Amino acid sequence: MADLDPTRIPRHVGLILDGNGRWANARGLPRTAGHAAGEAALFDTVEGSLELGIEWLTAYTFSTENWSRDADEVEFLMWFNQDLLTRRRDSLADQGVRMHFIGDLADRRIPDHNRKEMEEATELTAGNERLHLVFAFNYGSQREIAAAAATIAKRAASGELSPTEIDEKLFSSFLYLPEMPPLDLVIRSSGEHRLSNFLLWQAAYAEFWFPGILWPDFNRDHLRQAVIEYQGRERRFGGADGP
Ligand code: IPE
Ligand code: IPE
Ligand code: MG
């Protein structure tokens, strides 16, 4: 396998962590045991990102569509996403990680204590800049884009901005986290080949890697493999090949 080129590390990597339920089913365990096992995989991948010098890592932890799962599983995921922040935030803060949360966080179905934990983690790590770790929680890209359009429409209606000013750059500034750079690489585990409403706008020119690994089996070595694969791709951004 080719060696990793430390000068060509993707700036922003997206993770669609999928396959927890199948991992648990294969072991005769409840689906929630798969989510619990996925935590170590996520934080090993965070460590791997720190080692590689990746600047932005966005992990899809709960989608706007995941509310359709059984109430027990949803309740577990709400509790679990809060609990892992409580347990991990100090060590992440010490490692220079800055945490962000994107999604429909005002949704009343998200428990208040969970929302508070997300706010505290954001504040605690606001001064860090080694790695931006973004949790896409109650996130749906279509909702994000619709919300941006609604805000822009309101501003246009009140005369604060003119419709002629609306272009890609202005639109991007109304997304949940305007400073987030475009995605360079999206990894979806479990062998599925779809985005499932993850960062549609931001993935416009991303490269994709779909390893057939269930999320709890994923680790920093797979991340490294993904980066090597990424470095072998030719990114054109609509341009032509060659000189
Ligand atoms: C991903 O694993 C975790 C979340 C969506 C929260 P799944 O729970 O989707 O696992 P599978 O796809 O059913 O195996
Ligand atoms: C996408 O996985 C959402 C997260 C990883 C949080 P899903 O398992 O919900 O996606 P589908 O239903 O297979 O498309
Ligand atoms: Mg799934």
Ligand 2 center–CA 62 separation, angstroms? 8
Judge whether residue 242 has pLDDT over 70: no
pLDDT band at 241 (very low <50, low <70, confident <90, very high): confident
What global pTM score does this model have?
0.97
The residue ranges of every structural domain in the chain are: 12-231
Question: Separation of 113 CA from ligand 2 center, angstroms?
Answer: 24
Instruction: Say yes or no to pLDDT of 1 above 80.
Output: no
| Residue of minimum CA distance from atom 1 in ligand 1 | 18
Handedness of CA 237, 170, 55, 193 (dihedral sign): negative
pLDDT at position 2: 84
Which amino acid belongs to residue 177? Answer: L
Q: Is 190 close to ligand 1, i.e. is its CB under 6 Å away?
A: yes
pLDDT tens figures, 68-93: 999 999 999 999 999 999 999 999 99
pLDDT score of 234: 95
Residue nearest to atom 13 of ligand 1 (CA): 21
- Cα–Cα distance, 225 to 4 (Å, whole number): 8
Other C-beta atoms within 10 Å of 91: how many?
A: 10
Tell me the per-residue pLDDT of 189-200, one tens digit each, with 9 for 90 and over. Answer: 999 999 999 999
Q: Indicate whether residue 22 lines ligand 1 (CB < 6 A).
A: yes
Cα–Cα distances (Å) from 71 to 77, 78, 111, in that order, read: 10, 11, 14
Q: Is the dihedral of CA 237, 145, 143, 122 positive or negative?
A: positive
Do residues 68 and 103 make contact, with C-beta atoms less than 8 angstroms apart? no
Q: Which fold has domain 12-231?
A: Undecaprenyl pyrophosphate synthetase (3.40.1180)
pLDDT at 25 over 80: yes
